[in-house]
Amino acid sequence: MLVLLFALFLFLSNLVQLAAEWFWFQALGYERVFTTQLVAEALLGVGVGGLVFAFLYVNLRIAQRGLVPNPLVVQFSSGAPAVDVTRLVRRLALPTALVLALLFGMGAAGSWLGVLQFLHRTPFGVTDPVFGRDVGYYVFTLPVIAGGLGLITALTTLTLAAAVGLYVLRRDVVLFGRRVTVEPSARLHLALLIALLFLLAALRVYFVRLPGLLYSTTGPLVGASFADLHATLTGLRVAGLAALAGGALVLWGAKSQRLARNTLLALGLYFGVSLLGVALYPTIVQKLVVAPNELVKETPQLASHIAATRRAWGLDSVVTRELTGEARLTERDIRANRPTIDNVRLWDRDPLLQTFGQLQEIRTYYDFVSVDDDRYWIDGQYRQVLLSPRELNSASLPTRTFINERLTFTHGMGLTLGPVNQVTQEGLPVLFIKDLPPVSSVSLRVTRPELYFGELTDSWVFARTHQREFDYPSGDENIFTSYAGAGGVRVGSFPRRLVLATYFRSLKVLLSSDITSDSRAMYIRNIRLRARTALPFLSFDGDPYLVVSDSGRLRWILDAYTATSRYPYAQPLD
């Protein structure tokens, strides 16, 4: 009963999580991202989980087939009833298979993005210098093959271990000193599982480890080195053949009633060849052939590495020009580059951030988190400026109540902005935009200074409630406002409100009379987290920056990229 209640609790918790996330994506207009990820995770989880369950359960049932002539019976204490362990284990087959299928399915569901990239793969139009495959194979296909083989290997290993344990309980596998006796009822089954592991090892060698040489770091740079190409490559191919031979040897052992002996021989063959051909032989080549004349031996590989790195980083299209260093700066050059000279930066970000905080935070619950560069047309001139948003730090509120944290103090206010190259007589930065509400001394204006999202912001709030929102302090008074935008999740009906209350783990959300059906729930407000959640297939720069739009609204910009660390021979970002 407790297990069922716990399962129901987990199901309802996940359902609430999904519903709240659906509301959030729907409010952004990104429903397709949510449904695509959800469907991909579900199909992968159910598909892989179903296959794992079928494979594991069928093998467990095979291992438990027939009658047990001498079942294992254990009495844990005097007077206690005897327990038929063999029978108990038989009953555990189904729940064991279900639990492992669930775990494998959950693990596979986490690979949804890689699988979708594989299904929608596109060629790069560039081939690698060793195997002649398109780079797209390494970026999209190889990770899926490696993950699939790893999953099947783990499943087969667990199944083999479970089967051996069952056969030992049934006394179909008996150890006499150094001799292992395997009954015919278990011999073929175990031989097939062991042979499958050897086959998987061979497949992994040919389809994962060989292409993986293009990411090798045994040489001076990333990519296959001389020793990799002239020693490791050959050693891996021989190791793959040894794995296939080992599998055949195991199957022959099942037929000749020497399964245990042949399995040990197969393991010795595979690991022996791997040790000699993949570990020892390349080391000898590196020490005796490469090291005495490394530059000559590694030059072709270095050329491949440099070419691949330039292509991967988009540097192959950069135009290079040689500078002699003999050119002289003239007055004409200065006049021709007057905008650059007029915008030479005098302020450094770190001390300026401290200065902004001292001059412009105004209240303890406001914080300046970072300073960013930007350029605007100001009073007819193209000016470089430094700016910092004034964010609300709810942790610094003087009274941290539900109404204050969730309904009243909902947003930051404006920004501080000044030129990079001007200083007051007191040695302080000149400020074009300052104070609360933001006041501008130039043509650049801020019409909507509210900041509901930011770098510091990470809490959930409700806007457009019966409680008016704190906007900014004005002398001894506080100015209040109401949210006028269309962002956030509309509370709507009671079921939606119940979902939000459960998601936020706050009964007050459900009971508060200040929150109405037209109120807006705002969550996942941190800019970095917001971008990663909405667009999980992109890589983002770590520094979002605020800009003032032509209409005077404040907008966050976060640079995004499509990125991979799987470009063969190329140097990845550390």
Given a cut of 80, whether residue 182 has pLDDT beyond it is no
Place of tokens 């001894």: 476
Compute the distance between CA of residue 480 and CA of residue 468 in angstroms, rounded to an integer: 6
- What are 432's two structure tokens? 């074009």
The pLDDT of residue 85 is 57
Confidence class for position 75, pLDDT limits 50, 70, 90? very low
Instruction: For residue 340, give Cα distances in angstroms to 223, 336, 343, 373, 384.
Output: 42, 9, 5, 14, 9
- Phi, psi (degrees; rounded to nearest 5) at 83: -110, 125
Mean pLDDT of all residues in 423-431? 92
Q: Which of 150-164, 208-222, 318-332 has the lowest mean pLDDT?
A: 318-332
How far apart (Å, rounded) are the C-alpha atoms in residues 239 and 217?
21
Mean per-residue pLDDT over the chain, rounded: 91
Question: Per the confidence metrics, is the pTM higher than 0.75?
Answer: yes
pLDDT in tens, 96-111: 899 999 999 999 999 9
- Write the CB contacts of 211 (distance below 8 Å, at least 6 apart in sequence): 131, 133, 137, 138, 142, 568
Q: Looking at per-residue confidence, does 216 or 181 come out higher?
A: 216
Can you tell me the distance from the alpha carbon of 570 to that of 7, in angstroms, rounded to the nearest whole number?
Answer: 47
Res. 83: pLDDT tops 70: no
- Tell whether the model's pLDDT for residue 178 goes beyond 60: yes
- Would you place residue 330 in the very low, low, confident or very high pLDDT band (cuts 50, 70, 90)? confident
Residue 78 has pLDDT above 70, yes or no: no
Name the nearest CA neighbour of 451 among 524, 554, 364.
554
Q: Which residues lie closer than 8 Å to 206 by C-beta, 6 or more apart?
A: 237, 240
553: β partners: 448
Q: Using CA atoms, how far apart are residues 106 and 108, in angstroms rounded to an integer?
A: 5
In the predicted structure, residue 350 carries a pLDDT above the cut 50: yes
Dihedral sign, Cα of residue 479, residue 482, residue 484, residue 486: positive
Question: Residue 499 pLDDT > 70, yes or no?
Answer: yes
Contact criterion met (CB below 8 Å) for 460 and 504: yes
Tens of pLDDT along 362-373?
A: 899 999 999 999
pLDDT digits (tens, 9 = 90+) for 503-531: 999 999 999 999 999 999 999 999 999 99
For residue 1, the model assigns a pLDDT of 67
Residue 437 has pLDDT above 50, yes or no: yes
Of 15-29, 311-325, 363-377, the least confident:
311-325
Count the Cβ atoms, other than its own, within 10 Å of residue 492: 16
User: Cβ contacts of residue 460 below 8 Å, gap of 6+?
Assistant: 406, 504, 521, 522, 523, 525
Share of the chain above pLDDT 70, in %: 95
> Average pLDDT, stretch 335-356?
89
Rounded to whole angstroms, the Cα distance separating 360 from 363 reads 9
Q: Which residue ranges make up each domain of the chain?
A: 43-170, 172-314, 338-561
**Residue 528 burial (10 A CB sphere; 0-12, 13-18, 19+):** middle
User: pLDDT at residue 177 above 70?
Assistant: no
Q: Work out the average pLDDT over 227-242.
A: 96
